[in-house]
Amino acid sequence: MTARLGNACRLLRTWGSCKGLTIIYPQSSSLFLPCDQSHSCTAFPRVTPVRHGSQFFKRLSGVEVWSGQTGVSNSGKKKGRRPTRKLENLNYGQRPGDGKANIGWPGLNVPLHDYAAKIGPLAESHKLPPKQRGAQQRDTRKKRRFKPRLSPMERGWTSKSFGGRSVGPPDPVSDYVFEGFDTKILEVNVVSHMTNSLGRKRGFRAFVVTGNKQGLAGYGIGQSGTINNAVRKAKNIAGQHLMYFERYKDHTVYHNFHTKHHKTAVYVRRAPQGYGLKCHRIIQEICKMIGIKDIYAKIEGRTKNKITITTSFFRGLQKMETYQELADRLKLHVVEFRKERQYFPEVVASPAKARQTVGPDELLDFETMYMDGRVRYTRRSVTPFYAKFDAYHRKKRVHFINRNQPAAQLARLVEEQLGA
Amino acid sequence: MAASMKCAWARCLSTILLNSTKHRCQISQPLYASCSNISGDSGNDEIIFRKGEGGTDQTGQEAGLADDTKKHRRDPGKAFTDVRVQKILLRLTGLDLDKVYEYRAAKGAGVAKVALMSDQQLKKVYESASYKALRKLQMPPVLGAREPIDEVLSEDPELEGLNTSKLVFIDISQRVPLKKRTIVVREPNGTLRKASWEERDVTLQKYFPQSGRKIGLPRMFQQDNLECMLDDGKHEYILNRACSQFEIDDPEYIRVTQRTYEHIHSNGKFEDLRSTRHFGPMIFYFTYYKKIDKLLVAFLEEESLEDSVDLVKLYHIVHPSCKSAEKVASMPDPTPLEIIGAFAEMDATQKSLVQQAIQTYEKECDSTDSTQLRR
**What DSSP line would sit under A212-275, residue for residue?**
-SSSEEEEEEEEESSHHHHHHHHHHHHHHS-EE---BTTTB-SS-EEEEETTEEEEEEE--TT-
Question: Do the Cβ atoms of B119 and A418 come within 8 Å?
Answer: no
Calculate how close chain A gets to B172, using CA atoms only, in Å: 21
Mean pLDDT calculated for residue range B300-309:
92
Residues of B in contact with A272 (CB under 8 A): 109-111
Using one digit for the tens of pLDDT, what is the confidence trace for B67-116?
A: 333 333 468 888 998 999 999 999 999 999 999 999 999 988 999 999 99
Question: Do the Cβ atoms of A339 and B106 come within 8 Å?
Answer: yes
Which of B114, B118, B219 faces A357 most closely, judged by CB atoms?
A: B118
Backbone phi and psi for residue A60, each to the nearest 5 degrees, phi listed first: -115, 150
User: Which candidate in A340, A367, A369, A416 is best for mutational testing of the B interface (most B CBs within 10 A)?
Assistant: A340
What integer pLDDT is reported at residue A170 of this predicted model? Answer: 97
Question: Do the Cβ atoms of B108 and A339 come within 8 Å?
Answer: yes
Calculate how close chain B gets to A275, using CA atoms only, in Å: 9
Residues of B in contact with A334 (CB under 8 A): 114-116
Residues of A in contact with B105 (CB under 8 A): 340
ipTM of this predicted structure: 0.75
The overall average pLDDT reported for chain B is 83
Closest alpha carbon within chain B to A275: B110
Calculate how close chain B gets to A344, using CA atoms only, in Å: 6
Which of B1, B109, B121 faces A338 most closely, judged by CB atoms?
A: B109
- Chains A, B: CB contacts within 8 A come to 90
Distance separating alpha carbons of residues A228 and A122, to the nearest angstrom? 45
Residue B336 DSSP code: H
What integer pLDDT is reported at residue B53 of this predicted model? Answer: 36
Determine contact, residues B188/B160, Cβ cutoff 8 Å: yes
Strand partners, A121: A103
Question: Do the Cβ atoms of B114 and A366 come within 8 Å?
Answer: yes
- pLDDT higher than 60, residue A223: yes
Mean pLDDT calculated for residue range B312-338:
93
- pLDDT higher than 80, residue A162: yes
pTM of the model: 0.71
The overall average pLDDT reported for chain A is 85
Q: Identify the sign of the CA torsion A245, A251, A255, A260.
A: positive
Distance separating alpha carbons of residues B221 and B256, to the nearest angstrom? 7
Using one digit for the tens of pLDDT, what is the confidence trace for B42-76?
A: 333 333 333 333 444 444 443 432 233 333 346 88
Mean pLDDT calculated for residue range B331-354:
92
> Could you tell me the strand order of the sheet in which B113-117 lies?
A345-349, A333-337, B113-117
Calculate how close chain B gets to A267, using CA atoms only, in Å: 17
Question: Do the Cβ atoms of A270 and B111 come within 8 Å?
Answer: yes
Question: Do the Cβ atoms of B118 and A332 come within 8 Å?
Answer: yes
What integer pLDDT is reported at residue A337 of this predicted model? Answer: 97
Closest alpha carbon within chain B to A335: B115
CA proximity to A279, closest of A263, A260, A258, A295 = A295
Residues of A in contact with B125 (CB under 8 A): 335, 345
CA A296 from centroid of its chain's CA atoms: 28
More confident residue, A84 or B155: B155
Classify residue A178 by burial, with Cβ atoms within 10 Å: 0-12, 13-18, 19+: buried
Calculate how close chain A gets to B110, using CA atoms only, in Å: 5
Give Cα separations from A70 to A13, A65, B80 (angstroms): 40, 9, 107
Q: Identify the sign of the CA torsion A104, A109, A115, A117.
A: negative
Calculate how close chain B gets to A349, using CA atoms only, in Å: 9
Determine contact, residues A355/B118, Cβ cutoff 8 Å: yes
What integer pLDDT is reported at residue A6 of this predicted model? Answer: 45
